[in-house]
Homo-oligomer: A and B are copies of this chain.
Amino acid sequence: MLKNNLLLRAAKGEEVERAPVWLMRQAGRILPEYRATRAKAKNFVEFVKNPELAAEVTIQPVDILGVDAAIIFSDILVIPEAMGLPYEMIEAKGPRFPNTIHTKADIDKLKIADAGDLDYVMKALSLTKKNLNNRVPLIGFCGAPWTLFAYMIEGSGSKTFSKAKQFLYTHPDLSHQLLEKITQSSINYLKGQVIAGANLLQIFDSWAGVLSEKMYYEFSLKYISKICDALSPIAPVTVFAKDAHYAVKKIAETSCNSIGLDWTIDPTKARQEAGGKTLQGNADPCLLYADEKTIISETHSMLKAFGKNRYICNLGHGLYPDIDKEKAKLFVDVVKEYKW
């Protein structure tokens, strides 16, 4: 059905003619077209909840940048909201939760969300699917349970997430209860996304890096692994645990299909640790500030290091909002035109 299924074949480890390429946060502020659509909503949360606008910005980078996949425009924090903990997005600052989790009663009050609670995402996926007209695969996503937990306890972004980590150290049993509820909600949500049209799923563990290795396995990867077990039978799953440099081997041991890498990970070392699974990444987002010559040569080096098969080309983190869209397009073009 799909005219371009490179991403799906690469994720499953099948042979490809060339590596597929997409960019984390490709539906975002680097595109003037995105900013124009964004201006139609009264705030970020309303923007996310509007299926027509979400579908519109999801498709823009396919048209403008020529990427090999669309990723549904949404936010990882829709899950806490669906569980009963609403969030706000403060301009130039980031997310904020008016209420946070402190006690067992707070956790007991949260519901296990199901896909019906996130109907606006399902509608956005269906609409995107229809309008994409099978040009490229559509990626669905969720935040890793630990990352969502971190926001739900901390109440906002943080350099250290010390409140969230304090909760892990002082209330390990309650932590597991909350992580389990988030995990069940995420499984319901991702299953709904596949039914609504997502061809591949990505789990974003944005705050993996604040945990020690031991705590990462106990409080994060354990739950990611449950999500992979529930979803990988119906759609390929990518796990991206930013700054969890120590965890590539253990992530590869889950039932995920591919592993996202940030730009501090050596491709050759990751290949050794990934047990034959597909890798995704991992250009430094700041490379796109460089001149054309540097972007081309560094991208070529990266492609050589990862190789053609079992590889999804991407940045090692989301696009920074002040990147010139022509530089992002250049990166995509370099990957697509590379002579393997």
Contacts and interface: CB of A to CB of B under 8 A. Distances in A.
Interface of A: 157, 159-160, 162, 165-166, 168-170, 209, 211-213, 215, 243, 245-246, 263-266, 284-287, 289-291, 294, 320, 322
A247 to B, nearest CB: 10
Contacts of A159: 157, 159
Contact of A286 (B166, B284, B294): B166
A209 B264 CA distance: 8
A24 B146 CA distance: 27
Given A290-B169, A291-B170, A284 B245 contact: no
Contact of A287 (B169, B266, B284, B289): B169
Nearest to A161: B286
Contacts of A213: 264, 266
A312 to B, nearest CB: 19
What is the count of identical protomers in the complex?
2
Given A162-B320, A209-B264, A264-B246, A170 B289 contact: yes
Given A159-B159, A162-B320, A264 B287 contact: no
Contact of A263 (B212, B265, B289, B290): B212
A165 B284 contact: yes
17 contacts: A157-B159, A160-B286, A162-B286, A162-B289, A162-B320, A165-B286, A168-B286, A169-B287, A169-B290, A170-B291, A209-B264, A212-B264, A213-B264, A243-B264, A245-B245, A245-B264, A246-B264
